[in-house]
Each structure stands twice: as structure tokens, then as C-alpha cells.
């Protein structure tokens, strides 16, 4: 149970972080976009 919650939580955080990073990447440009892609 804990493992499932931890895995799902991590995946959710990564997805949210990816979306935020993408949004910031469009505004900042090099700041977030350079590291991700």
C-alpha cells in the first residue's frame, strides 16, 4: 500500500513538475527549458 502510494505520488509530482516546468519554460525560456530539453 505504501509503495503504491509512494509510486503514484512520485509520478504525480513529476507530472505536475513537468507541467510547471513547461509553463515556466515558455515564459523564462532558457531558465526552465534549457535544463529539461
For the stretch 1-14, pLDDT in tens is: 678 878 888 888 88
**With bands split at pLDDT 50, 70 and 90, how would you rate the model's confidence at 22?**
confident
How many Cα atoms within 13 Å fall on the side-chain side of residue 7?
Answer: 4
Is it the case that residue 31 has pLDDT exceeding 80?
A: no
CA distance 1 to 4: 5
* Spatial contact of 26 and 19, defined as CB atoms under 8 Å apart: no
CA distance 22 to 10: 18
CA distance 32 to 30: 6
First to last CA, the chain: 34
Is it the case that residue 19 has pLDDT exceeding 80?
A: yes
Of residues 28 and 17, the one with the higher pLDDT is 17
Amino acid at each position: 500500500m505504501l509503495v503504491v502510494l509512494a509510486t503514484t505520488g512520485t509520478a504525480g509530482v513529476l507530472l505536475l513538475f513537468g507541467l510547471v516546468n513547461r509553463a515556466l519554460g515558455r515564459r523564462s525560456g532558457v531558465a526552465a527549458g534549457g535544463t529539461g530539453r
